[in-house]
Every structure is written in structure tokens, then in C-alpha cells.
Structure 1
Amino acid sequence: MACTGYDFGKDVQNHLDAPMPWIGMYVAAASLICSLAMAADAFHGFRSNKFWFPSKYFSLNATFLALLAVSLKLPVDLTGRMWAVTDRLAKISSLILMSIAIGNFMPSLGSMNDKEILMNVTALGILVLTVIVNVCIQIIQMRHFLDRRLMFAEEIVALIFMFLLLVMLGSLAIMVPTTKKYLKSKYREMLKMASEEELAEMGKLTFDQLRIMVKKYWVMAETSSPQFVIARSATCTASGVICLLIALVLAEARVRTLMVYKTFRRTASYYDSSTNWILLIHSIGVTLGTIAPALRWFTAINFKCSEGGKKSTFKDELKIETYWTQMLDEWKESSLSWHIRDRKWRKLLHDTKRPMLSFFVGVQSMVVLASKLVRLISVLFMSPIISCFHNMRKLKNVSDSNTSRVHQVSESGSNTEPDLSRYVLLLEGEVLLPQKTLQNIWNQVDKVIQIGKRQQPKNLIDLLKKFGDFRGVREFDCDEVPSLHIHEPPNCWSLPLVTLTSIAIALPNISTHNANRLLSSVNEGLFFVKLVEKCLDRHGDLVSIRNAADVVWVGVELYSKWQDKDLNEMSLKGRESKEILQELSNKAEKTVLEFNRDVKDFLMENPLNWPGKVIAANSMYRICRNILLDYEGDRPWTDEGLFTRLTVMIADILAACLTNLPRVISIKCHRNAINHGPKKARQAALLLGESREILQILQQHRTPRGLHPDHAAYIEKWRTFREQEN
């Protein structure tokens, strides 16, 4: 019976162990995803010349914490038989990969709010401490066999470094909220200083002036980015040294193993050959993941050793700025957030809180001091080597720099640009960034503008060359057309454009080429028009009007239909333009009148609450009736002549709307928040490049004098102003 029981238990165990190689492959797959994400961040940093390597793909969140928990399956396995060389290497590489991941997580704290930082750092701490406890339990339980435990020293070093990196991440998490408040305050002050002159000259800004303006805000956005601030902090740069050292620990373990055992492929665990894949992927992940932290450290050291770095005393280098401990100090002095009625308990908890937070302040100060000491030692050690390379590079590039300077003069027409270094946002104790770093930031603006230039709307530019003096803004509608309702819905820029284009392509005897070209031109123009409307209609008063235009345009552009009218069929030969205008007008009038007759809701008395179909129909009715008035006058229009007139009218409306582009670009810069500043600044630079020729065309026809910039944002204000002029 004992033998039978033993056989049964062994059979059950074999069935339980059978899927372990597949679980090992699952661990390898999770590790591969993390490794690729870290590699993607490194590639993004090189590609964008951001050698502080922002966390764009690999960040501290639930997804990557779950993947890392899977990749740590081997170290937390207390019962697995993992004493062979490959098993031990795979276990240690798991710990080292986790350490490298923590080093890559650090900049991502800048993109989180306070609650996200607390939750994610707490979750990471629980994960790391769980791993440490599991490994320690296994060491204690196997203490009688430590003499046979391969690479025990490397395992302990990996645990120590992993815990140190967790502490450093926690140190940064305490610093980030205070730093963000300081950056927001300083950003607002600098924004106010930068915008005073521009608002007065907004209607007169040239392309070059707008380029300088975008550069100015780009510098502010980049240097105040919380991720950049964290990446250049002492703690984050010091973590690069630890990541580099721990990667060398894995390399040493692999080399020593190869020299002693002559192979890596020796396993005794139930994970079988999957440990080979885990070890391979972990090694690749550690190598790729070390790039970003190590280069952050090297960039900081290079800056300190360069001529651009400000020379400071030993005392200044080791000074602990207030923002590192300010949040802890505020917590220590603040009252308890819990509502406890008993005064004695409140006093006891408050007295307990103070020494506890004092201890954490001391730990925080030690971490920051140690990080600054590591950076200082690195500078002293690396300074001779880096200085030697700097001198060699200067001697080599003297002639190249002269040639480049001449080329820059010929490109820009001047050899100087305004000094934008005063728009760099720095924390307390930080010295000015090196000129090369600032130059990389400025060059990014020009690169994005060049990308925008290659995407300029050619059809729209050709259409804008036809506009005259904005007369179409006033002429597309007139007061002589009787209203269908006691309240007229207001116009936005896009609605008359969509309506006029629908009429133009429905006219007979117009070539398909001309109709399609107009359609493409207006489609390109509506992209910029929508930007203007969305940006300048701050209160959203015209949202329903814009939505009506969007719905109509989808039918016109994709299906050549205005509501249920096929515009291609209407333009068949044999019909007159007047007949088509009358048919569109009657259809629109019928739609509005039926709505007014059937709807009794008092809310619909406000045209802004009308359905989009009715708003679009009212616009079609008024514009068609306005054009028909000309037919009844002394100037009958031919089909081609009417098409040309509508084209010019469309160009006038587009031109009037796009005179707001400089203001839109400025507002995009002004509305930058420190978390999304670089993204908004990039959008402004891209828009500037896309609208270069548009701005040059519009500069030949300035906005009418006396029209307030706030009024220029609305077509109704333009019409009122033009009527008063006449």
C-alpha cells in the first residue's frame, strides 16, 4: 500500500510539473515585452536627440507591473529545484532585470498626478519587498547548503541594488509633487513675461517672428517638463551608476560560469529548457535597459565636465535643496487628516507621526546626499577622460564649424538669433543647461517646422491666391432675405463654406476637374478652420453650428450629397443654375418650416438647440436666396461666372478665418501645461510649418484696421464690421 501511495503521489507530481516549461515560456514572453519597451524608449531618445531619455513606452503602471511580476516567477518560487548553473543564472537575471526596470521607471513619475504616484510606487514597493522576502526565506531555509549555492554573492548584491533603487525611486516620488508646484508657478510667471509684447502685435506677426515665438515656448515647455527635471536630478542620474554596476554583475556571473562550467545549458528545474530562453531574454533586456539610465548619468557628468557647466564649491555640490524634503516637512507640521474625537488619541498619533516623519526626512536627506556624492565622484573620475575628448573634438572641428557658420548665415540671412536661454526653467541649485543641450532643443523646433512645410496644403494655397479683399465674408448673406424663424441661428466659419461648396459643385456645365479641385481645396481648408473655431470658441457657444457643418460635409465630400439631394445628378447638363438654386432653396425652406410647425418644445425656440439638419437647411436657404437676388437684378450670371464668384467668395471666407492662425499658434503655446507642454509646443510648430505659405499670402492683405482681435475670431463680427465700413 505504501508503494502504491508513493506511485500515486509521484504520478500526480509529474502531471503538475508537466506544464512548467510552458509557464517558463510565458515568463520569457513577459520579460521580452518589458525589454522591448525599454529598448523603444532608448531608440526614441536617440531619434529625438533627447539624451535624458523620457519614458514614452515603458512607464510605471499596472500593465508593466503585472508583466514584471510574471517575469519574477523564478525568484519567488520557493519549492522549485533550481540549483543547476542555468537555473541560478536565470534567477539572478530576473532580479537584475527588475532593478534595471526600476531605473527606467524613474522619469515616468513626472507624467503622473499625486494619487497615481502614490498607488504605483506602493504597488512597486509591495512587489519588490515580496521578492526580497521570498529570496530571504529561501536562503534561511537552505542555510545548511549555502556552500553549494552557486553565485550566492551575486544574488545578494542583486537584492541590495534592487532595494537601493526602490528607495531612490521613493525619494523621487516625494520630490515630484513639490517640484511640479514650483514649476507651474515659475512657468506662469515666465509665460506672463513672454506674452505681453506678443498679444499687442498678434495681427502683425510674420512667419519668422512666429518661429522665434514657438522656439521660446518650446524651450519653456521642454525644460519645465517634469520628466526632464527628474531625469537631470541627482537621484535619477546616480541610479544610472547602479544600473551600470548591476549589469556588470550579470556579465561577471555569466563569464565566470562559462569559465568554470564551460556551458550555460545545464538545468535541473521543472522549467526544463525554458530557463535557457528566460536567461537569454533577461540578458538582452538588461543590456538594452541599461542604455537609458547609464546615458542619463553620462550626460550629467559630461555637462559637469564641460565648459558650459558652472564651477561650484564642494559645499554647493552637496547642498540639499528644500524641494527634496518640503513635502515631508509639511506633513510633519500639519494636523491629522483622520477625524478622531478623543484628544488623547489625537495627541498620541500626532506625537508618533512627528518622529516617524523626522526619520523619513533623515533618510531622504541621506539618499539625496549619497546621490550627489556619487555624481561628484563620477565627475572627478571622468573629468580627465571627457576633457581629453572635448579638446580632440575642438581641434578636429575648427574648420567644420567655420563652414557651418557660413552656411547658417546664408540660410537664415543673419548670423544671430535672439538669446532664448532666459526662458529656460531651472530648479533651485541647478545651473544653466549646456549650450549644446539648448541647441538641440532649438533645432527640434526647426525640424518639426520642416516636417510641417512638407505637408502644406497645395490646393488650399492655390485657392487662397484668388481671394480679394474679404468681400465674400459680407456678400454670402444679406438682410434682404426673409427669415424663416424669429431667431436666426448664428454662423460659424465652416457652415457657409460647406454650404457654398455644395452649391458650387451642383452647378451645371462645370468641369469635373474644377469641381473636384474646389472640393479638395475646401477640405484642406476646413482642417485649419476647425482648429481656429475650436481654439477661439472658448465657451463652446457655436458647437451645434459646427456639428451641423461637419455632418453636411461628410455627405458632400464622401457621397456628393447635400442631405438627400444628389449634387452630381443636379449638375447634369440641360438644367440652369437658377433652377438648381431654386430647388436647393425650396428643399431647405421646406425642412425648416416643417421643423418649426411640428416642434412645440420651448427649448427649440433657441436656434442653438436645433438639429444639425435644420441648421444646415437654414444656411442653404439664406445663401441660395441671396444668390437668386442677383439673378433678379441687372447682372445675370453664367454657369462658369457663378462658379468663379462662389469660388472667390469661399476664398474670401477662408482667408478671413485663417487670419486668426497666428493667434491660434500663440494660444497653443500659451495653453501649455507642464505635463503636456512639449506635445502642445510640437503641435504649434507643426501648424506653423503647414501654414507657412498661407501666412505669407495673408500678410499681403492685412486684417481690416479697427477690427478687434477677439472679434476677428467670429464670422458674424466680421460681417458686422464690414457692413459698418460700407
Structure 2
Amino acid sequence: MDGYDSIVQEKLDAVMPWIGMYIASASAVCTLAMAADLLYGFKRKKLWFPCKYFSLSATSLTLLAVAMKIPMDLNTNMLHSADLLAKLGSLVFMSTAMANFMSSLGSMNDKELLANIVALGILVITIVANVLIQHIQLRQIPKYVGVVLLPTISVMLLLVTFVSLAITIPTTKRSLESKYQEKHRVALAEEEVVQRRESISFKNQRRKMMKYWVMAETSNPQFVMARSVVCTTSTLIPLLPAIMLATSHIKLIMWFKDLSFGTAASVYGGYTRWIIVIQSIGVVVGTIAPTLRWFIDVGFKYSTTNYYNVRDEFRIETYWIQTLVDWRDNFSSLQIRQDKCTKYLHDAKWFILTFCIGVQILIVLISKLVVFICALLMSPFFLCFGRINKFLMWLLSKVMTSDNNGNDQLGDDTDINLTSYLLLLEGEAELPRRILKDIVRRADNTIQAGLKKQPQCLINLLTKFVGFNGVGEFDSNQIPSLHSYEPPNCWTLPVVTLTTIAVALPNIAKDKKDQLVSSVSEGLSLAKIVEKTFNTNAQLWNIKKAADVSWVRVALCRNWLDMDLRKTSLKVKTSKEVLQKLSNKAGRTIMEFKREVKDAYMENPLYWPVKVVAANSMYRVSRTILLSCEAENEVTDDGLFEGISVMIADILAACLTNLAHVITTMCHRNAIEKREESVQEAFLLLGKTEQILELLQQREWPSLDHDKATYIDEWRAFFCPGGDDDPAVQLQVII
């Protein structure tokens, strides 16, 4: 039986090197994610290094659980030099990873925060429990105890700081949101004054939006977490284990005179060295961001510390303990009854939470003390660095007197007092001016990125529009309905229908059709943003879906309802034949739907199949154009194509008059966790649509309120208040 057991054990051990490769792969993915966050922070000049690719989530915790296989392995003999180094490296790698994604706590809502903290706690406690079991069993081996003790303590301390920060997040977000809403009301009041005196221009739009950019950047929960004293102090925790790991590397390399790190006797085989190398690289990469974050925070603390009133520096702000106080004083979860059990439960809850409040206060005080001492110790360096920096800036200003881009950039915004829109927590000192300059510079860089992506094909199409008459003329009320009810219109469906007709016209050069399709494709992408921002009701969902489905087939396959538009344009001789074919095809589709469907529920056009919605639009638009053509004696194919292009340009132009309102709305509509991303998209859209906004400004707009201007049916009602359409008037636009 012993021989059989040994054979089975050998077979099981034979596959363990593959497990080692799995551990090395998971460690490599985590290392790459930390490196990506590091590069992203440098690229965006956010030296507090937001967690974009490596954050606290189910994915990162799963990868870390795989990477921690070695310290959690209780049955493998890992007392040789390379094996012990792998165990030490794994624990240091874990503490470094935790220090990197600590600021990501701010980007989670309450449910995600609770779930991720619990999951992290389970993983850390499991690691610590396994290490302690090994420590108890191997306490007579000094080299093992010396290896695991310090990194295990650092991992546990980091978990405590994670919990401490997580407790403050709900209160912090409420405070920031309250301040944001207050500043938002002030900004709206200023905008009303500006709009009464000035016309809306690209420059004024940028200036107005810059307030929201500053508020979104400074109230970004990740940035708030990164500049907190607890997060700053926690970045020091992995440094000692990292130094210990580096020392162990140096000792082993000197001892063995090469990079072999000694022998590895564990069942993981040669992959043990791969794990050591990859996790050591991960520690080096992962140490950079927390160290720089600590350096910047300490430097900021040095410049803002009131050394004459040190007592204020150690004041505990309300938001640190407010959540725990609310939990302690909340009686709603306990059913009030006159018995001893309820009293004991309440007393136990009160004492436990009071103890937690004391621990939280102690953590904050220690963190403030550490940051204060670091600021004092580093003060000679910061003083010297500050003077050198001032001298270099003075020298640069003398050499490059003509280059004032940075000053002008901020100077353009000083008149609106951007510093008043910095959102800070209670007790926080005002951020340095250079941070405000960096924030403004990032905003302008985002606009510049948008300027490089301007839709030139769409801009060329919009140069054809001279007014907005096409909005009221693409669908004539003289066309009888084929159904009892007519579905409402959205911006995209008539544009798709008109483009389909233009693509099907005969005797039109292919490059002109392709150019129109490219222009409309760019226009629809912007029109969808308008619809997504304002038309949030479910009534238009099916209509917009019909436009999307139809456009994919037209743009990619030149096909509409199984009708090949290329073949159709080649078979027919005149444009009227094409219009008649499209009208007949659409009419048959609608009539078949009426015959086959007997459900009264489907009488509502909001529930029609998308092909029926598209057919109804095609029927009405093609019949309207036919009606216009009959009012004229001579209709050329090129003239009709140009007329349809003008009508498309009119509709898209009317839709895009909402862009300024869309961009402003994007700046302040989303939740605090997503607000910075939304504001960044708004600035990118502002740069992308600069020429479009300037082009639309040159035309006189109808006097429609913002709420009405977002719906095409409101525009149609404005241009056709009586509901009567004159085909001759339509003909002037189309032909």
C-alpha cells in the first residue's frame, strides 16, 4: 500500500510545475496591470496614480489568490534558499499590490465596497492564517520565522487601513456631493447672467465647462482617497518588506555568485525561479506609484502645515468617524422591547462600535503624526528643492519670454475664479496653484485631442444647409396613413430613411453616395448622443432601434428590408421608379403586418417590429418626395440627390443645435464615481464639434425651449403649425 501511495504522490507532484507556471502567469498579469496604471498616471500627469487597470475587484482578487499559492501551501517543503525567497516575495508582492489599489476604494458604490472589502479580508486572513500555522509548526527554524514575520504584519496592517478608509467613504462622498450641488447652483446662476450678455461661443462654452472640470477632478473619490493621511501613511507599510526582499536578493546573489538564487527543492521545480523574478519585478514596479504618492503628499503637507498651531494639525475631522457614529446611534434595526436581551444587545452594539470609533481615531492620529514627522524630516530637502525650482522657473522666463502658453492658459480662467470651485473636505488645505494649472492643462489637452477627431465628412455635408426647413418637410401630412396610429419620430430614423433613398437613386456616381454615407454615419453618432442624453423615455426606444438596425444594413451591405439597393439603382431608369419601388415595398410590409397581427396590443406603434417601423418611415418619406416630384415637370437625378442631401443636412443641423446643451448636461448629470469620466467625454466632444458649433452659430435658430428643441416632432410642429404642407415649397428644397 505504501508503494501505491508513493506512485500516486509522484504522479500528483509531476503536474505541480504547471501550477507554478500558473502562479507566474497570474503574477505577470498583476505586474502588467500595475505598470499600466503607472504609465497612465505619468501620461495624464496625475501623480496620485488613479487605479484604472489594477483596482480592487473580483478579477484582481482572483489573480492575487492564484499568485499567493506558495505562502498558502502548507504541505510542501519550502525551506531551501530559493523556496524561502519565493515565499517572502509572494507576501511582499501581496502588500505592494494592496498599496497600489487602495485609492480604488473611492470608485465603488456602497454595495461594491462592502463586497470587495469582505472578499479582500477573507483572502488576507486566509493567507495570514496559513502563514501563522506554518510559523507555529516551524517555530524552531529561525530562518523561516525571520522571513515571514515582517511581510505578514504588513499585509495585516494594510487590511486594517483598507477597512479604516472604507468606513469614511460614504460620509466623504455625501460631503463632496453636497458641496458640488452648492457650487453647481452658483455656476448655473453665473451662466444665466453670461447668456443674457454674451452669445454662446466655443470659448465661452469652454470657460463655462472648466468649472465642472475642476469640480469633477478635485472631487474624484480616488483623488480624495489618495490625498488622505491614512492612504499616505499606508504607502510606507510595504516599503520595509520590499527593502527586506531586496536585501535577501543581494545576499543570495553574493552567496551563490550568480542569479540562480540557490536551490529550489519544492515540487514547483524550475518555475519557482520564474515566480521569484516576476513577483520581484512586480514589487519594484508596484513600489514606484505609492512612493511618489507619499512624496507628493508629504511635500504638500510641508507647504501647508501650520507649525505655530500644531494642535490644529491633529484635529479629527467629522467624516473620519461619522459612519461609525451613525451606526452606533441607529436604533431602527433593533426592535424596542422591554426585556433584558434587547438591552444587552444594544449595550454590546454600543460598546463594540465605541471601541471601533476609538480605533479609528487612533489610526487617524497615528497617520497624521507619521505624515507630520515625515514633513519635518524632509523639510530641508523640500526647502532646497523649492529654491532650485524657483530659480529654474525665473531663468526659463528670462530665456523664453515669448512663450507664455502656460500662464495664458490659466490666465484665461482667472476671471471666473476657478479656485473657488476646488472641492475639498473638512480640514483640507487649499490645493497648490500648480495642481490647478495641471487640471486646466489636462482639460485643454482633452479639447485638443477632440479637435484632431473632428468629423470632416459631416462638416462638409452641413455646409449645404441654409435653414432648418427640411425638418418640417421630409414627411407631408397629405400622405394618408396605412395604419390607425402613426409612431413618433426620432432624429435618426428620417435621416436613415432619406439616406437609403439617396443610395438607391440611379445615375449617381458611387463616390458621391459613399461620401454621403460617411457623412451620415458621423452625423448619426452625434445624433445618438443627443437622443441618449435627453430622450430617456421608453417611448422612442423601439423607433431608435429601427433606425439602428436599418442603418447597419444600409451602410455595410447597401440593403434595405432584403432589397438590394445597388441592383435596384441599376435596374431602374428614373428616380421616380426607385421611389415607387421603395414605397410599394414599404406599403406591402405594413399591410402584411396588419393582416397577420390580430393582437390589440400591437395596435400601438411603439410595440411594432423594427422592420415595420422602418417601413412606415420609408412609405411616408418616399411618398412625400414623389408628391413633390409630381408638382414639377423636370426632376433630374442629380438634383434630387442634392435636394435629399440638403434635407438630411437640415435635420442633422437641427438635431446638433442641442450639442451645447448636451455638453453642459454631460458635465453634471452622472454620479460622483463616474463624473470625471463624463466630464472628460464632454470636453472631448467639445473639441470634436468645434467647427460644427461655429457653423451652426451662423444661422438663426427657431425660438424653441431646451426641452422642446430636443425632439424632432416639436421642430416639425414649429415649422408646420397648421399641419398643411405645400408640395411646391418642399420641391424648392428637394430639387
**TM-score where L is the length of structure 1:** 0.93
Change (3 A) 1:302 1:545: same
Please tell me the residue identity of whatever aligns with 1:267.
A
Which residue in 1 is equivalent to 2:170? 177
2:289 to 289, 292, 296: 292
Q: Bigger shift: 541-550 or 331-340?
A: 331-340
The CA deviation at 1:443 is 1.5
Please tell me the residue identity of whatever aligns with 2:168.
M
Please tell me the residue identity of whatever aligns with 1:226.
P
Which residue in 1 is equivalent to 2:237? 242
Q: Deviations over 1:541-582 (max 9, x none)?
A: 222221222222122212222223322223237612222222
Which residue in 2 is equivalent to 1:356? 352
Does 2:704 correspond to 1:707?
yes
The CA deviation at 1:238 is 0.7
The CA deviation at 1:377 is 0.9
Please give the alpha-carbon distance, in whole angstroms, between the structure 2 residues aligned to 1:165 and 1:410.
40
Q: Please say if residues 92 and 158 of structure 1, whose CA atoms lie closer than 8 Å, have aligned partners that are also in contact.
A: yes
Matching of residues 109-124 of structure 1 within 5 Å: 109-124=105-120
Does 2:423 correspond to 1:430?
no
Please tell me the residue identity of whatever aligns with 1:343.
D
**TM-score where L is the length of structure 2:** 0.92
Please tell me the residue identity of whatever aligns with 1:618.
N
Please give the alpha-carbon distance, in whole angstroms, between the structure 2 residues aligned to 1:269 and 1:572.
75
Q: Alignment partner of 1:416: what SS?
A: helix
Please tell me the residue identity of whatever aligns with 2:17.
P
Please give the alpha-carbon distance, in whole angstroms, between the structure 2 residues aligned to 1:189 and 1:646.
48
Q: Please say if residues 173 and 221 of structure 2, whose CA atoms lie closer than 8 Å, have aligned partners that are also in contact.
A: yes
The CA deviation at 1:495 is 1.6
Change (3 A) 1:119 1:456: same
Please tell me the residue identity of whatever aligns with 1:248.
I
Please tell me the residue identity of whatever aligns with 2:519.
S
Q: Bigger shift: 86-95 or 167-176?
A: 86-95
Matching of residues 223-372 of structure 1 within 5 Å: 223-259=218-254, 262=257, 264-306=261-303, 313-335=309-331, 337=333, 343-372=339-368
The CA deviation at 1:415 is 4.8
Q: Please say if residues 40 and 49 of structure 2, whose CA atoms lie closer than 8 Å, have aligned partners that are also in contact.
A: yes
Which residue in 2 is equivalent to 1:49? 45
Q: Please say if residues 26 and 67 of structure 2, whose CA atoms lie closer than 8 Å, have aligned partners that are also in contact.
A: yes
What's the Cα RMSD here? 2.6
Change (3 A) 1:413 1:99: closer
Q: Alignment partner of 1:711: what SS?
A: helix
Q: Bigger shift: 63-72 or 253-262?
A: 253-262
Matching of residues 569-584 of structure 1 within 5 Å: 569-572=567-570, 575-584=573-582
Please give the alpha-carbon distance, in whole angstroms, between the structure 2 residues aligned to 1:364 and 1:411.
43
Q: Deviations over 1:54-88 (max 9, x none)?
A: 11222222332233233223323334333222222
Identity of aligned residues (%): 50
Please give the alpha-carbon distance, in whole angstroms, between the structure 1 residues aligned to 2:5 and 2:474.
90
Q: Alignment partner of 1:541: what SS?
A: helix
The CA deviation at 1:412 is 6.9
Matching of residues 95-244 of structure 1 within 5 Å: 95-143=91-139, 145-146=140-141, 149-150=142-143, 152-198=145-191, 201=195, 204-244=199-239
Aligned length: 717
Please tell me the residue identity of whatever aligns with 2:552.
V
Q: Deviations over 1:433-491 (max 9, x none)?
A: 12222222222221121111111111110110110111111222222222323322222
Q: Bigger shift: 188-197 or 9-18?
A: 9-18
Please give the alpha-carbon distance, in whole angstroms, between the structure 2 residues aligned to 1:477 and 1:10.
84
Please give the alpha-carbon distance, in whole angstroms, between the structure 2 residues aligned to 1:116 and 1:180.
15
Q: Please say if residues 310 and 432 of structure 1, whose CA atoms lie closer than 8 Å, have aligned partners that are also in contact.
A: no
Q: Please say if residues 301 and 372 of structure 2, whose CA atoms lie closer than 8 Å, have aligned partners that are also in contact.
A: no
Please give the alpha-carbon distance, in whole angstroms, between the structure 2 residues aligned to 1:381 and 1:414.
33
Q: Bigger shift: 310-319 or 690-699?
A: 310-319
Q: Please say if residues 452 and 687 of structure 1, whose CA atoms lie closer than 8 Å, have aligned partners that are also in contact.
A: yes
Does 2:21 correspond to 1:25?
yes
The CA deviation at 1:402 is 5.9
Q: Deviations over 1:176-220 (max 9, x none)?
A: 122122222222222222234446849942111222233221221
Please give the alpha-carbon distance, in whole angstroms, between the structure 2 residues aligned to 1:218 and 1:410.
18
Q: Alignment partner of 2:550: what SS?
A: helix
Q: Deviations over 1:207-252 (max 9, x none)?
A: 1122223322122112111111111110111111222232112122
2:378 to 377, 382, 388: 382
Q: Please say if residues 672 and 681 of structure 1, whose CA atoms lie closer than 8 Å, have aligned partners that are also in contact.
A: no
Change (3 A) 1:563 1:198: farther
Q: 5+ residue gaps in structure 1? A: none
Q: Please say if residues 309 and 433 of structure 1, whose CA atoms lie closer than 8 Å, have aligned partners that are also in contact.
A: no
The CA deviation at 1:10 is 5.2
Q: Bigger shift: 504-513 or 343-352?
A: 504-513
Please give the alpha-carbon distance, in whole angstroms, between the structure 2 residues aligned to 1:154 and 1:163.
16
The CA deviation at 1:367 is 0.9
Q: Deviations over 1:573-592 (max 9, x none)?
A: 76122222222222222322
Q: 5+ residue gaps in structure 2? A: 725-735
Q: Alignment partner of 2:101: what SS?
A: helix
Which residue in 2 is equivalent to 1:36? 32
Change (3 A) 1:262 1:349: farther
Change (3 A) 1:266 1:582: closer
Please tell me the residue identity of whatever aligns with 2:343.
K
Change (3 A) 1:471 1:485: same
Please tell me the residue identity of whatever aligns with 2:24.
A
Q: Please say if residues 306 and 313 of structure 2, whose CA atoms lie closer than 8 Å, have aligned partners that are also in contact.
A: no
1:81 to 54, 62, 77: 77
Please tell me the residue identity of whatever aligns with 1:277.
W
Which residue in 1 is equivalent to 2:673? 675
